[in-house]
Amino acid sequence: METVPLDLDNESQCSAWDAFVLEHPDGTVFHSSLWARAIAAAYGATSLCMVFKDGETTVGVFPLFCVKDIRQRDTLVSIPYAPCGGILSSPAYAESILSDAGVSRSVPRKDSPTLRAYAAACCTMVVSLPSEKDALWSRLPDKERNQIRKPQKEGLTVDIGRDLLDRFYPLYARRMHELGTPPHASTFFSSLQNSFGDCAEFVVAYYRTNPVAALFDVSWGNTRYNLYGASDIRCRSLCANDLAYWESLKRAVDQKKQRYDFGRSRRDSGQYRFKRKWGAQPAALRKYVWAFDKKSGTWNEQSLVPSSGPSKVWRRIPFPLATALGQCIRRFVF
């Protein structure tokens, strides 16, 4: 088996990488070369991505990146700023790929305690899409249909397009503060737009002229991915979030997508229950993070389940200061 590093500047190699990812049952937009290019541009993540070949046949890919954590330690992540990662290959090649990557062979097994804890705490939520919007509407529960009709009756409107970052970002930054999470800088979203082109879109719901809910979606392969979403909690009674997601789902049907990925949620959380009402089903996630210990010269597996302690502290920081600080330190939150 031959190991070939992925050159993100090589269009032919990136196209072959993406073709393999698209054909693999566990492949996602986060495994794509487009995601790799975006995070390299936004945060300087160093690609250590590898292609594994048996003769002329690609038998596996390993999206791996080196980044610095907040303590300035070299950290290997598969995949940074994404809910999932890991090797795409047949099981027979997994151990060889990990060995070639210089990572302990015992770390990323399926029975790893860290992986079990992450899978138990978090999942992504995916719904299969019909071919027609009428069929999508008819299978929604009556309560959800009413929550879509309500904002329509209140006069809310929705805009979908690429040039809505300035409408999306204030809502996103405010929501991140409410959740106790440092926000990405707006340049992160610009990098994703530059990488994915017309496949990246904002969905913004307005009450009168004010943005009250917004999503950032990327369409890739047979799936539309809702990467980020936010709404103004002061306008929760308007159900603007429901309207924004409905328009996003309709857009996915128009694009002939087969699936809609609502993104990562903590199991049994409010977000989880919101996504379930659209018919979304939980799907397992896996991700790997290793930090380098200079004293022992080893790579040590890191916890993937965030603690609630830092979130409580972050919410106490005044919003303008938290937003400014968050844009500086978000690169260290993988």
- Strands of the sheet containing 46-47, edge to edge, are 46-47, 65-68, 74-78, 288-293, 298-301
Write down the H helix ranges in the chain.
11-23, 33-43, 91-100, 113-121, 133-138, 142-153, 165-179, 186-196, 240-254, 270-276, 308-316, 319-329
Neighbours of 216 (CB within 10 A): 24
How far, rounded to the nearest angstrom, does the alpha carbon of residue 192 sit from its chain's CA centroid?
Answer: 11
Residues 269-287: tens digit of each pLDDT: 999 999 999 999 999 888 8
Mean pLDDT of 113-129: 86
Residue 105's pLDDT band (boundaries 50, 70, 90)? Answer: very low
Mean of all residue pLDDT scores within the chain: 90
| Residue 106, pLDDT score | 35
Which region holds residue 248: left if phi is over 0, alpha if psi is between -120 and 50, else beta? alpha
| Residue 315, pLDDT score | 92
| Residue 107, pLDDT score | 42
Structure tokens at 12: 């032919």
Share of the chain above pLDDT 70, in %: 90
| Residue 100, pLDDT score | 61
Sign of the dihedral defined by the CA atoms of residues 97, 99, 104, 110, in that order: positive
pLDDT of residue 97 exceeding 70, the answer is: no
Share of the chain above pLDDT 90, in %: 70
| Residue 104, pLDDT score | 41
CA distance 135 to 156: 23
Q: Worst-scoring range by mean pLDDT, 29-38, 77-86, 184-193, 239-248?
A: 77-86
* Contact present, 230 and 189 (Cβ < 8 Å): no
Domains of the chain, each with CATH number or no CATH: 2-110+286-322 (3.40.630), 123-283 (3.40.630.30)
pLDDT of residue 232 exceeding 80, the answer is: yes
pLDDT of residue 199 exceeding 90, the answer is: yes
Half-sphere exposure of 95 (CA within 13 A, CB side): 3
Residue 306's pLDDT band (boundaries 50, 70, 90)? Answer: low
Single pTM value for the model: 0.92
Burial of residue 328 (CB within 10 Å: 0-12, 13-18, 19+) is: exposed
| Residue 3, pLDDT score | 84
Q: Worst-scoring range by mean pLDDT, 27-31, 34-38, 71-75, 235-239?
A: 71-75
pLDDT of residue 108 exceeding 50, the answer is: no
Residue 111's pLDDT band (boundaries 50, 70, 90)? Answer: low
| Residue 109, pLDDT score | 47
Residues 185, 291, 125, CA angle at the centre, nearest 5°? 55
Q: Worst-scoring range by mean pLDDT, 30-34, 85-89, 172-176, 232-236?
A: 85-89
* Phi (first) and psi of residue 2, to 5 degrees: -105, 140
Residues 294-313 as b or e (16 or more Cβ within 10 Å = b): eeeeebebbebeeeeeeeee
Residues 140-160: tens digit of each pLDDT: 999 999 999 999 999 999 999
Mean pLDDT of 290-306: 70
